[in-house]
Amino acid sequence: MTNFRKFGSVCAVAALVLTNGCRKMDDETEAALLGAINPVIDTCNITKSPKPGTPVTTEMAKSGLPCAVTFNQGNELADLQLDFDFNSWLTFVALHEDDGDMAMWQGWQDMGSLMLPDGKAPPPFGQSVPAPEICTGGADGAPVLKMISKTPTTPTASISGEPLNTGPLIDQNGNYARYQILVNEVMYDYIVDNKLYSKAGQAAFDKDIAFPEGNVTKDTTGTMGAIVLKVSWKVLAGDDDPADFHSVKGYVYSPATADTPESCVTETLGLVGMHIVHKTKQEPQWLWGTFEHKDNVPDSPTSSGRFHFYDPSCTDCEVNAEAPQPWNPAVEPFPGNFRSQIVRTTTYPSEAVDSAARWNPEFQQALKGTALANYRLVTTQWPTDGGSTTDPMGAPFPLFAANTTMETYVQATRSGDGWVNTPQATSSCMSCHNNATTTNGKESDFSFVLEKAE
Amino acid sequence: MSNDLDNFVAISSALTGIAASKLRPSLDTHKTAQAYLDYATEHGGSAFTELMGLSPAEVLEAVANEPDGDIAIMANCVTLMWYLGAWYFPDGLLAYKQGSSSFAPSVVISSDAYTQGWAWKVGQAHPMGYSELRYGYWSGQPSTLSDLVGGE
Amino acid sequence: MADTNHFDVVIVGAGVSGALIAKQLGAAGKSVCILEAGIDYKDSAAEALQRFYTAQAKVPESPYTPAIVTPDAQGVQSPSNPSEHVIGRATTLTLGEDSWQNSNQAYMDQQGPLAFASTYERVGGGTGRHWLGTSLRFPPNDFKMKTVYGVEEDWPIDYDDLEDWYGKAEHEMGVSANAADQGYHDIGFPSGYSYPMPQILDSLVDDAVKAGISGLEPQEGIKLEVTNTPAARNSVPFQNRRQCAGNTNCIPICPIQAKWDPTVTLYEARQSPSVEIRFKSVASEIVVGEDNLVSSIKYLTYDTFDGGQTGSGEVTAERYIIAAHAIETPRLLLMSTNDGKTPNGVANSSGAVGKHLMDHPIYLSWAHTKDPVFGYRGPLSTSGIESMRDGAFRSKHAAFRIEIGNEGWNFPIGDPYTTTLDFVLGTNHSQLNDSGTAQQGKGLVTALNHALTRQFRLGFLVEQTPEDNCTVGLSATYKDRLGLPRPSITYDLSDYTKMGFVAAKKVSSNIYAAMGAKEFTKTITKEDADSDPTSFSVTYDANGAVVPEGTAGATTEYFQYFGAGHIVGTYRMGSDSTNSVVDKDQRSWDHQNLFLVGSGVFPTVATGNPTLTLAALALWAADTVLADLG
């Protein structure tokens, strides 16, 4: 066990004493344990966003992981958006700090090693279940990339996880984009210590689901909140330059279907999208920051440039159309020469547009020479009225937010020659996750992770 | 412009009974008030210009004194815009009000306007097809009216 | 696949039945082609929601295509002209005195004497796109009305034949209910049976009705009880779809797809490489060969709804399944005259194709409760009163189920619009603004809150009898833009059905009285009945026998009815080939390789919403077809 951690030891001791596990301990012990899940730390990054005219420096960009948003710009929507977006950038950069030979976040717990068949207990934090037998020859501990959409279902099951429209994303090489969901240690501990990784554990859990909150109490002292990442990758092939990406060597796995055997190939994959979702005390509806590779898609149809998911030379490719079924990632390149032709179509309010337009070039400049300089913040969605008594979403802003690699087909609604945002149909992180529940239908604090338990 | 918007929100609040802070929250995510002011300015003609030249009290007075007058009908249009997310054409609305037509023609301003309609919230409910609430809320009591519409 | 036109099975219609059958056949490795007249649901889903939100009149057809309304220069929407559309369909917007027989507004050529008031969709996913989700089993006596009560017809199958298929359909679609609540009127379940999800929570409206009728004396000897309604809506996450969030919009569109609709199953069906759907492909003729077997199906294609035909095609198969609902299926059968070889249409040696058109005509009533019940919240309906779906009275008058509405007076008077206009303008169309006062400010809030929070309605789904004079035919006059004759409809209600309305009205008033609620149901007059195509009169004597109007001592009552969207009966199953179109396997008596599925096979409309039963029958038909194919 390489990750011998605070809670693991406490629980093990308690279990020895009480034999009936952690959940039946007295309140005092339980309170202590909650503290262990979400321990006080003194390394919260509290860097303030610079005022206009002061550029983001490399040091500032790499100043570390915030426990919560530090406000500095003012009280108007536009000011607050700047602070939330700055916080998202700091978080994105900090998550990519090397932790040994990989980015910090890559050591977090993948859904595939958290929600296990038959509700089995997951391995310790940072450890993976063994890769399928067919996966051999890759780097030790290489991630196994199974998902072809951001909802963790096999392609043989229903993929209608997004209401109304859905489907896989096919890059210009004809390969399926691959997805991962990961949780940080705080989130992992909350799930494991409360046995929420199984249907049975969820049924037995008699409290409200409330993931730990990030918070700063004084200076750099505070707590880290639960963080969920949704990550999209593309297989690097053809003209792709690995230096342009934050990349990883991983197993690309496809299950058997009626027509194709299971397959597993070792590939180098480049990061193309990342949702960073952090629960904080001030934002009980969580913070929803989302990043993309700058070369994913154009912001409007174009005949020039080079994109991962758009072909400028194609004049009759239908924009933002789902790939034809059947979807079988074992068959690549995608049959019939189909390639996704994706354009960014969500409309954002000026505050969000202006804020991203300010921070993206500044952070890209500060990160020059690193792969991270090739990424852009799309936006950060946050609650403007977190304590609302009438709206459990806390009045999100912006109203809509989409990552073109993850909410590809729910970015906006076709309207004549243009696109419009439609409530409930156009992607909104908080609007959708507001309905998240456990397997037995209990509210699960904006995370669909628990719904995947068996 | 901000003066116009302030006055529009004040008039709207007086007509609708919804607190100004609800029609135009300090962090205004939907910007509905601005959208409605723009819409009414474009479609409301001289009657809307006239209405905007009055104080909220003067508008209420005009509505009381001459309920079928241009100002009063325009005030009705503004009220209905907030309540139903739709623009009622003043001529058709007057005919409906006077009983000479059984149908008041209107257009829905936008999907956002429909889903932000206040009639539903006044009914302690939500627009059909747009709920911000969660499974099972219908088996319990709704939010209080004052929480929903604001004010004292 | 794409370059061949021969399949194991060709299905016409990508709706409830077509989707369920295609998935089963595809999973078994059979090649399937679905011909769907409408557009791909993938192209239309978000647009459908946008179209709904911005529709002025939000009727069941509003979200779907072709658009039922066309805006004028100012943006005011009025009914589209169906002769300009390659595929037309009916809308409830054209049931008025001036519109129901106006061919520039109404798709169906309605011949009367009454109007057929229900509608359907022609779009990928079919009418199941706008269904409510109600998934009731039919009680055993529904299948043997002739034997038990001496009225209507017996089905060639009974409840026991269907029981397992009901269970399979409930699990395929994902129905939320507790089996323990659903065993009324001898409905049986295998021991230990459970629905895939627990029941959806009752609403405050349900609670109020339940409390109110607890002391109500038996009606025609039957004690009324409120029962939670099984629904294909998620009470917990299911099929990777979210839990119901109570958007109060099952009809016409659930914005979060917590309600099962056929597109869910079509996604799964299309994961089979052997399943192909051809959209914008309008079946125009079922071709019958020398051996009296169906030899192919011809279809027409189009690009845009108002652009006319752009091409055609023909597909062949080992088995053919027509799943185009109970109006378009008989229309296709009747259009298929094979150059005079089948002059009365395909599968029609009995002459029964197109006959026995039925619905659940709805007696709608509405009231105001003493204390708020907070409608306009939750799924459109969560409970009903199933007590009068069976009983000795069925020898005399129609049975009915009572649907409790959670949407205030939206269905009855289009609220909250009507009442809001009343309080803003000082009118009184809602009957809730007796003083005719126009309100502003806090007064408006208070008055409207009082009015809206006490509204609720009951819908009585009355069993209609199968009659020879209720028919779907081909219009001699009107065509669609593909040049195909539009459906012509004759429709009426029998005395037995009308007396069901009389009974429903009594029960309705008794329920409101027991609840202490004030009834506001619109009074229908003789003038209404004479002019409104969806109103009728009935005169009956002291024994409940219908007698001519004006008979001494008799009572005359006037009613308006609404369509339930439960279109059934037009190619019914039976045990006698001379008076039915398909046998108990839903196989054409005339053509052994042709199956007709969907609610058109129902010999009677029975007393429950039809979708679960037609879904169960579709799964059964898929099994039969698979056995045929070997």
How many CB atoms lie under 10 A from the CB of residue A129?
Answer: 15
- Residues of A whose CB is below 8 A from B115: 423
Kindly report the nearest CA distance between residue B115 and chain A, in angstroms. 8
Check whether A2 has a pLDDT greater than 60. Answer: no
Q: pLDDT by residue (tens digit) across C20-49?
A: 999 999 999 999 999 999 999 886 788 999
The pLDDT value given to residue A155: 40
For strand C383-385 and strand C226-228, is the pairing parallel, antiparallel, or unpaired?
antiparallel
Cβ-defined contact of B27 to A77 (cutoff 8 Å): yes
SS3 C621: helix
For the packed helices C611-629 and C16-27, what is the interaxial angle rounded to 10 degrees? 30
For strand A109-110 and strand A98-99, is the pairing parallel, antiparallel, or unpaired?
unpaired
**What's at C102, amino acid-wise?**
N
Residue in C76, C376, C445 closest to B128 by CB: C376
Q: CA–CA separation, B39 vs C56, rounded Å? A: 17
- Residues of B whose CB is below 8 A from C244: 135
Measured CA to CA in angstroms, residue C594 lies from A233, A261, C319 at distances of: 48, 36, 6
- Residues of B whose CB is below 8 A from C255: 129-130
The pLDDT value given to residue A346: 97
Check whether C200 has a pLDDT greater than 90. Answer: yes
Buried b (16+ CB within 10 A) or exposed e, A257-278: beeeeebbbebebbbbbbbbbb
Does the interface ipTM go beyond 0.85?
yes
Q: Is C79 on the interface with B (CB under 8 A)?
A: no
Q: Which of A264, A246, A245, A266 is nearest to A256 (CA)?
A: A264
Buried b (16+ CB within 10 A) or exposed e, C319-358: bbbbbbbbbbbbbbbbbbbeeeebeebbbbbbebbbbbbb
Kindly report the nearest CA distance between residue A270 and chain C, in angstroms. 28
**Whether A84 contacts A90, CB under 8 Å:** no
Whether the upstream peptide bond of residue C603 has omega within 30° of 0, thus cis, is: no
**Whether C430 contacts C419, CB under 8 Å:** yes
Q: Is C44 on the interface with B (CB under 8 A)?
A: no
**Run of H or E residues at C472:** strand C471-479
In C, minimum Cα distance to A165 occurs at C42
Residue pointed to by tokens 């029998």: C494
Q: Is B39 on the interface with C (CB under 8 A)?
A: no
Give me chain A's average pLDDT, please.
89
When scoring A150, A153, A154, A158 by the number of chain C Cβ atoms within 10 A, the one with the most, hence best to mutate, is A158
Token representation of residue A18: 């009480």
Check whether A19 has a pLDDT greater than 80. Answer: no
Q: pLDDT by residue (tens digit) across C116-138?
A: 999 999 999 999 999 999 999 99
Q: What is the dihedral of CA A280, A283, A286, A289, to 10 degrees?
A: -100
Q: Is B119 on the interface with C (CB under 8 A)?
A: yes
> Chain C residues contacting A, CB < 8 Å?
29, 42-43, 45-50, 53, 198, 235-237, 239-243, 245, 247, 254-257, 263-264, 267-268, 270-273
The subunits that touch chain B, with at least 3 C-beta pairs less than 8 Å apart, are A, C
In C, minimum Cα distance to A412 occurs at C46
- Residues of B whose CB is below 8 A from C372: 124
- Residues of A whose CB is below 8 A from C51: none
Residue in C54, C204, C426 closest to B108 by CB: C54
For strand A375-383 and strand A263-278, is the pairing parallel, antiparallel, or unpaired?
unpaired
**What's at A345, amino acid-wise?**
T
Cβ-defined contact of A424 to B29 (cutoff 8 Å): no
Q: CA–CA separation, C576 vs C578, rounded Å? A: 5
Token representation of residue A44: 């919260």
When scoring A390, A439, A442, A447 by the number of chain B Cβ atoms within 10 A, the one with the most, hence best to mutate, is A390
Ramachandran angles phi, psi of A176, nearest 5°: -70, 135
- Residues of A whose CB is below 8 A from C274: none
When scoring B22, B111, B145 by the number of chain A Cβ atoms within 10 A, the one with the most, hence best to mutate, is B111
The pLDDT value given to residue B22: 98
- What's the start-to-end Cα distance of chain B, in Å? 28
SS3 C100: coil
The pLDDT value given to residue A165: 54
The pLDDT value given to residue A149: 81
In C, minimum Cα distance to B148 occurs at C445
- A245 Cβ neighbours under 8 A, 6+ residues apart: A236, A270, A271, A272, A293, A371, A374
Ramachandran angles phi, psi of C154, nearest 5°: -85, 150
Residue in B14, B140, B145 closest to C440 by CB: B14
Q: Compute the average pLDDT of residues C559-567.
A: 98
Residue in C29, C254, C268 closest to A258 by CB: C29
Measured CA to CA in angstroms, residue B64 lies from A66, B71, C211, C422 at distances of: 57, 10, 43, 16
Q: Is B4 on the interface with A (CB under 8 A)?
A: no
Q: CA–CA separation, A11 vs C64, rounded Å? A: 56
- A109 Cβ neighbours under 8 A, 6+ residues apart: A122, A125, A126, A182, A183, A184, A185, A188
Check whether A166 has a pLDDT greater than 90. Answer: no
Residue pointed to by tokens 């009809």: C251
**Whether C419 contacts C406, CB under 8 Å:** no
The pLDDT value given to residue A151: 66
Residue in B99, B104, B136 closest to C421 by CB: B104
The subunits that touch chain C, with at least 3 C-beta pairs less than 8 Å apart, are A, B
Q: pLDDT by residue (tens digit) across C68-120?
A: 999 999 999 999 999 999 999 999 999 999 999 999 999 999 999 999 999 99
Cβ-defined contact of C424 to B96 (cutoff 8 Å): no
User: Cα A311 vs. chain centroid, distance in angstroms?
Assistant: 26
* Strand arrangement, sheet containing C109-113: C109-113, C485-491, C471-479
What does the longest C-alpha to C-alpha distance in chain A come to? 70
Q: Which of A417, B100, B84 is nearest to C56 (CA)?
A: B84
Q: Is B35 on the interface with C (CB under 8 A)?
A: no
Residue in A326, A424, A437 closest to C237 by CB: A437
Token representation of residue C572: 């019914």
Cβ-defined contact of C50 to A451 (cutoff 8 Å): no
For strand B106-108 and strand A109-110, is the pairing parallel, antiparallel, or unpaired?
unpaired
The structural domains of chain C, with segments of one domain joined by +, span 6-132+257-358+566-629, 198-229+362-463+494-560
Kindly report the nearest CA distance between residue B70 and chain A, in angstroms. 34
Whether the upstream peptide bond of residue A39 has omega within 30° of 0, thus cis, is: no
Q: Is C256 on the interface with B (CB under 8 A)?
A: no
Name the pLDDT band for A25 (thresholds 50, 70, 90).
Answer: very low
Kindly report the nearest CA distance between residue A384 and chain C, in angstroms. 22
**What's at C509, amino acid-wise?**
S
Kindly report the nearest CA distance between residue C93 and chain A, in angstroms. 24
**Whether C285 contacts C338, CB under 8 Å:** yes
- Residues of C whose CB is below 8 A from B108: 53-56
Give the number of B-C residue pairs with CB atoms closer than 8 Å.
173
Kindly report the nearest CA distance between residue B6 and chain C, in angstroms. 17
**What's at A291, amino acid-wise?**
F
- Residues of C whose CB is below 8 A from B131: 245-248, 377
The subunits that touch chain A, with at least 3 C-beta pairs less than 8 Å apart, are B, C
**Whether C597 contacts C21, CB under 8 Å:** yes
Cβ-defined contact of C449 to B133 (cutoff 8 Å): no
Q: Spell out where C309-394 has E strands.
A: 309-322, 362-368, 383-385
Cβ-defined contact of C247 to B84 (cutoff 8 Å): no
Q: CA–CA separation, A260 vs C133, rounded Å? A: 36
Q: Which long-range contacts (CB under 8 A, 24 or more apart) does C308-315 make?
A: C308/C86, C308/C481, C308/C482, C309/C86, C309/C481, C309/C482, C309/C483, C312/C284, C313/C5, C313/C278, C313/C281, C314/C5, C314/C287, C315/C5, C315/C6, C315/C7, C315/C10, C315/C33, C315/C35
Q: CA–CA separation, C560 vs C537, rounded Å? A: 9
The pLDDT value given to residue A102: 86
- Residues of A whose CB is below 8 A from B22: none
Q: pLDDT by residue (tens digit) across C453-511?
A: 999 999 999 999 999 999 999 999 999 999 999 999 999 999 999 999 999 999 999 99
**Whether C353 contacts C377, CB under 8 Å:** no
**Whether C499 contacts C544, CB under 8 Å:** yes
The pLDDT value given to residue A13: 34
Ramachandran angles phi, psi of C350, nearest 5°: -80, -20
In C, minimum Cα distance to A335 occurs at C273
Give the number of A-C residue pairs with CB atoms closer than 8 Å.
103
Token representation of residue C63: 């979200």
Q: pLDDT by residue (tens digit) across B36-77?
A: 999 999 999 999 999 999 999 999 999 999 999 999 999 999
**Run of H or E residues at C32:** strand C32-35
Measured CA to CA in angstroms, residue C427 lies from A92, C78, C419, C437 at distances of: 59, 24, 9, 8
Kindly report the nearest CA distance between residue A443 and chain C, in angstroms. 10
The pLDDT value given to residue A27: 46
Q: Which of A319-328, C226-235, C504-513 has the lowest mean pLDDT?
A: A319-328
- Residues of A whose CB is below 8 A from B31: 349
When computed from its CA atoms, the radius of gyration of chain A, rounded to whole angstroms, is: 22
Q: Compute the average pLDDT of residues A169-191.
A: 96
Residue range C6-132+257-358+566-629, CATH number = 3.50.50.60
The pLDDT value given to residue A33: 54
Name the pLDDT band for A152 (thresholds 50, 70, 90).
Answer: low
| Residue % of chain B over a pLDDT of 90 | 97
How many CB atoms lie under 10 A from the CB of residue B130?
Answer: 22
Kindly report the nearest CA distance between residue A80 and chain B, in angstroms. 10
Name the pLDDT band for C221 (thresholds 50, 70, 90).
Answer: very high
Q: Compute the average pLDDT of residues C611-618.
A: 98
SS3 A71: coil
Q: Which of A340, A312, A285 is nearest to A149 (CA)?
A: A340
The pLDDT value given to residue A34: 57
